[in-house]
Structure 1
Amino acid sequence: MAAFKGSKHPPEPAYQATPGSILHADREFYTSIINAERTSIESFVLPIRSGRAWKVPEGHIVRISTPEGPQVGDVNFWNLHNPRERFWASRTKQLHASHVSTFDRLWSCLPYLRPMVTIIADSLGGKDGYGVDEWGGRCHDLLGTRCDPYVNYMLSGDSYDYHCHSNLTRAILPYGLTEFDVHDVINIFQVTGLDKDGKYFMEASPARKDDYIEFFAEQPLLMALSTCPGGDLSTWGWGEGGEGEGQEKKSMLDCCRPLKVEVFKITDSKELERWVAPQSPAYRGAHGMKVPTGETGRDT
């Protein structure tokens, strides 16, 4: 039987919620947070092709910026006290969009399912930001994931130790986590999309010097960032640093730049009075399972 193709009306988003739902960020509140007084409690510059993890208290702001120009960064999030609760890129993509910006939220995995951060500022977002290009590309990607040495070896036969997966793995070791804790990322400052055949593509980062994205921590976090070895992705090819096919003879290493991380405490406590840490959905159905706690029905 022939498949049904299309209708007279475009399909509506699959995941919608009523006004006031936790799905929707309170724009008035987060705008006040953007404008609130803040003080820096940590700041560092992450060198090219490396990774680092750091702690973020709840109710604080994290800014990641491009101090020397375009550079893609791969970011992971965990609850600081329970790393089983970690960022869920696929569900975030369904709840918001394939590419995220201001007032979108990054959600944690089951059974926790609550915002980990809310994006409160994005210099590449808004009506004057990158938008949608002629190929359908958008910025701050959830479609793809981190580059890794396993795919690299499969496609090129080369071993290389500074892909984003490896950088993130090294970054979290001091916190008692391992490679198995690294998960799908948000690719910040990265433009991606799907072509007419549904195939994933990447374009050069549109970030300029000192572009930034800011996250409000909705819970205590461990964050980790990798400066992608592909740099700004203007030249891309598998291997340690060669040229992309059909592209200008320029090493990927020449396209790599550092990223800057800043953590801010909001010093005007009045701005936080309306904030309540998000809770997980109160589902208690046990998935239909009725598991006895022990032997029943017999005398003892």
Structure 2
Amino acid sequence: MKPVALTQAPDDAAQRKAIAPVLCYPVQTLPRPDIDAYRAVRDGLTLVETVVVPARDAATFRVPAGGFFRIVSTEGPQVGDLNLFNQHDLSERFYTGKTRALNGTHLGVGDQLFTSFPTLRPMATITHDTLDWYGFDAFGGSVHDVIGTRCDPYTHNLLSDGGQYHHCCHSNLTRALSTATGLTPHQAEPHVHDVLNVFMCTGFTRDTGQYFMKASPVRPGDFLEFFAEIDLLGCLSACPGGDCSSEHSSDSARCYPLLVEIYTATQRPEGWVAPKVNGYDRCHGVAG
């Protein structure tokens, strides 16, 4: 519960609160993908690889620019924590904060995942979502959020008075990235970043503004599909919270594996070109 306000409200408090909000970014000028062109090539997809992500663990996968990949629920309701990187440069990675600011708190078909500074460009586009029927529920919850971070051993340690837990998503992603790149776990860990919480149902409580989770509506056969805008290295953790109906970072929650399916298309979306790195000149106001 938040503390009671210590400052007496001013006489014009109601008027101040009644001021209409303004969206931070004028997204009307944001280049948007022609999602119909992306979806038009889906009928020609060929499955070329499958990667099993074990329960309470993580795995990596690679998708070339112009390819598609799906994250699939297989045996039971399970959420996943997704990191994405430029396959050739780990410093260019998924930027959840800017993706959230440009798209919203939860992602769906037509939304694009953006890379970190200084490249800031689309790295993947969501092309299909079998949970798009969910929308927002009466609690303000929805799926596929970019507001949470990832369960991690450091927060667990703080909240459990020194507890040690090694199969939270942060550690899972660290181990998987280390294996895929040859970096030591200590070298790989700084590259692990805030995630897209695939299939996770989340929101903010209306009274205290706290981040909440609830049982995911995902069922076997559901999937979230992406188009790779650049050559991607993906890293996906099958969260130890299972469907996140009660807790995470837990050995007691029922957990299931996830599947990543990688597809090639017979053709590229009409008019598609790989996105260039951001055009800002990076002088930051300092004369050259």
Pairing of 1:267-282 with structure 2 (within 5 A): 267=266, 269=267, 271-282=268-279
Residue in 2 that maps onto 1:181: 191
Residue in 2 that maps onto 1:162: 167
Residue in 2 that maps onto 1:194: 204
Residue in 2 that maps onto 1:107: 114
Change (3 A) 1:49 1:213: same
Contact 2:213 2:245 (8 Å CA) reproduced: no
Determine which of 284, 288, 294 is the counterpart of 2:285. 288
Q: CA deviation at 1:281?
A: 2.8
SS at match of 1:225: strand
Pairing of 1:202-213 with structure 2 (within 5 A): 202-213=213-224
Give the aligned CA root-mean-square deviation in angstroms: 1.7
Q: Tell me how far apart the structure 2 counterparts of residues 286 and 182 of structure 1 sit (CA, whole Å).
A: 28
SS at match of 2:118: coil
Residue in 2 that maps onto 1:153: 157
Residue in 1 that maps onto 2:5: none
SS at match of 1:262: strand
Q: Tell me how far apart the structure 1 counterparts of residues 195 and 68 of structure 2 sit (CA, whole Å).
A: 19
SS at match of 1:118: strand
Residue in 2 that maps onto 1:6: 18
Determine which of 25, 45, 60 is the counterpart of 1:15. 25
Q: Post-superposition, which runs of at least 4 consecutive aligned residues in structure 1 deviate over 6 A? A: none
Change (3 A) 1:220 1:285: closer
Pairing of 1:8-157 with structure 2 (within 5 A): 10-18=20-28, 21-22=30-31, 24-34=32-42, 36-125=43-132, 129-156=133-160, 157=162
Q: CA deviation at 1:199?
A: 0.8
Stretch deviating more after TM superposition (71-80 or 194-203): 194-203
Contact 1:72 1:233 (8 Å CA) reproduced: yes
User: Which one has a bigger Cα radius of gyration?
Assistant: 1
Q: Structure 1: 5+ residue runs without aligned partners? A: 242-250, 292-300
Residue in 2 that maps onto 1:263: 262
Contact 1:78 1:87 (8 Å CA) reproduced: yes
Contact 2:100 2:106 (8 Å CA) reproduced: yes
Q: CA deviation at 1:237?
A: 5.6
Q: Tell me how far apart the structure 2 counterparts of residues 237 and 114 of structure 1 sit (CA, whole Å).
A: 32
State the AA in 2 paired with 1:224: C
Contact 2:174 2:189 (8 Å CA) reproduced: yes
Contact 2:83 2:234 (8 Å CA) reproduced: yes
Aligned length: 269
User: In the alignment, does 2:245 pair up with 1:234?
Assistant: yes
SS at match of 2:158: helix
Contact 1:69 1:210 (8 Å CA) reproduced: no
State the AA in 2 paired with 1:225: L
Cα offsets for 1:158-210 (capped at 9, x unmatched): 21110000000011113145001000000000011111221111111110111
SS at match of 2:41: helix
Q: TM-score, normalised by structure 2?
A: 0.89
Determine which of 166, 171, 177 is the counterpart of 2:176. 171
SS at match of 2:27: coil
State the AA in 2 paired with 1:281: N
Q: Tell me how far apart the structure 1 counterparts of residues 248 and 87 of structure 2 sit (CA, whole Å).
A: 35
Q: Tell me how far apart the structure 1 counterparts of residues 124 and 215 of structure 2 sit (CA, whole Å).
A: 26
User: In the alignment, does 2:235 pair up with 1:224?
Assistant: yes
Q: Tell me how far apart the structure 2 counterparts of residues 170 and 148 of structure 1 sit (CA, whole Å).
A: 13
SS at match of 1:169: helix
Q: Structure 2: 5+ residue runs without aligned partners? A: 1-9
